[in-house]
Structure 1
């Protein structure tokens, strides 16, 4: 299963995979266009709302995203955007209603489009839970593009 938010390129910005409760795994990967959460979160919250129901809170690491709004207003709803140092630097946590949440690996915005696209495709097509460790290796180039995830 994959949902995508796109900018002017043809590469998806978000890929979701099957949920797992296993430690170290993620529910998907997100490739933000930049480190400015004020603009990047609007699209992410919109798409994640389709999966999680209304998004009520987003947790992020302030060392990765230095500038973020305290909340995002979407329609009549205010979504809290909170700094949280216990979240892994390369993940973002999106909390929906009724205890439906998603942990997303954040592909660095400076990642080349081809590499980011390959990573997101592998996440969307994964047959098994996807680990943060494997996504880090793939994003950094330490794992070949032919390497299987899951």
Structure 2
């Protein structure tokens, strides 16, 4: 017996995620694999929704790297959907506004992080560009 699927999220809680059709695996310069527009700077509140919204083919994300200066305090690891996810912070002021997701044996994906307080129009533009795969891995948008 399998559990019933969860109800569809309403628009106020749905993950705001836009993924490129072709992942950037092995390409140089490394391209962004999509964009994520969190609702807040609280990584512990936002990360579970992001991970739940990723394609199943990406596998279980075991490690996440973010710009630590952009987020409120976050632990070195957290439990997400009964799995430990290690959190790594970069504290370099020039670090791009991205989140790096690693799935053991599956790969690496880099998502542009659109600042939570971005205007809807600007966020939409950045998410569209990321979905087209036209943003290089240096970020290209407002830091989150």
TM-score of the superposed pair, with normalisation by structure 1: 0.72
Find the aligned partners of 2:75 and 2:130 in 1 and give their Cα distance: 28
Structure 1 95/6 Cα, relative in aligned 2: closer, same or farther at 3 Å? farther
**CA RMSD after TM alignment:** 2.9
**2:16 & 2:97 partners in 1: Cα distance?**
15
1:131 and 2:143 matched: no
Deviation by residue 1:4-61 (Cα, 9 ceiling, x = unmatched): x875188x61111122222252111111111110101011111236241001011111
Offset from partner CA, 1:53-108 (integer Å, 9 cap, x none): 00101111111113113222133311111213469231111111214111111111
TM-score scaled by length of structure 2? 0.74
Q: Match of 2:107?
A: 100
How do 1:13-24 residues align onto structure 2 when only pairs under 5 Å count? Answer: 13-17=16-20, 18-20=22-24, 21-24=27-30
Which residue of structure 1 aligns with residue 6 of structure 2? none
Q: Given that residues 29 and 137 in structure 2 are in contact (C-alpha distance below 8 angstroms), is that contact kept between their aligned partners in structure 1?
A: no
Q: Any stretches of 5+ residues in structure 2 without a counterpart?
A: 1-8
Structure 2 partner of 1:116: 123
Aligned length: 131
Q: 1:55 aligns to what SS in structure 2? A: coil
**Of the two structures, which has the highest relative contact order with CA contacts closer than 8 Å and spacing of 6 or more?**
2
Consecutive unaligned residues in structure 1, runs of 5 or more: 141-150
Matched, 1:74 2:80: yes
